[in-house]
Amino acid sequence: MNGPVVHNSPAPASWRIALPHAASAVPVARALVRTALAEVEQSADCDTAELLTAELVANAVEHTTGEAPIELVVELLPTGCQVEVHDPDPAPPLDLTRPVLEAPDPWQEHGRGLLLIRTLSSSCGHRPTESGKAVWFRLPVVPAQRRRSE
């Protein structure tokens, strides 16, 4: 794949992008989310959206096999935003919607991504797709005075 392919949907508040099945997809996904949220006056917190998007894309790259692209979908809603990451593996993420029974091991480098998504998003989940699954989160609109100035 020579680079990301961007498909703008008919509605100006939705973006889809095919990303390579590689770690290089993470910064591209972060940049797309920041750009999408910067285009609207009332939006969700960009920093949180970038962090959670990076976690979803990194998980999709790390926990799925093959070279099929990963798809990022960013949808701006009147109440905030929804970000979905589509990957080719139909298996659901194990700890996304289950309650946390114990804290992650502080000595482990992994194991906090889904906890961050559950904790920082207003809602999250997963659903099957024709080619695998979509894992998603939603963030509410943050008043302009509370957003970081750029």
In the chain the domains, ranked by start, together with CATH numbers, are: 5-145 (3.30.565.10)
Instruction: Summarize pLDDT for 38-57 with one digit per residue, the tens.
Output: 877 667 899 999 999 999 99
> Rounded to 5 degrees, what angle do the CA atoms 14, 28, 105 make?
105
Residues 6+ apart with CB under 8 A from 124: 96, 97, 117, 118, 135, 136, 137, 138
Q: What is the pLDDT of residues 10-37, one digit of tens each?
A: 344 889 999 999 999 999 999 999 998 8
Is the separation of the CB atoms in 116 and 100 below 8 Å?
no
Crossing angle, helix 46-63 and helix 113-120, to 10 degrees? 150
Which residue spans within 31-143 are E strands per DSSP?
A: 70-77, 80-87, 123-129, 132-140
Residue 18 has a pLDDT of: 96
Tens of pLDDT, residues 56-98: 999 999 989 888 999 999 999 888 999 999 999 998 887 666 5
What is the arithmetic mean of pLDDT over 111-140?
Answer: 89
**pTM confidence score:** 0.80
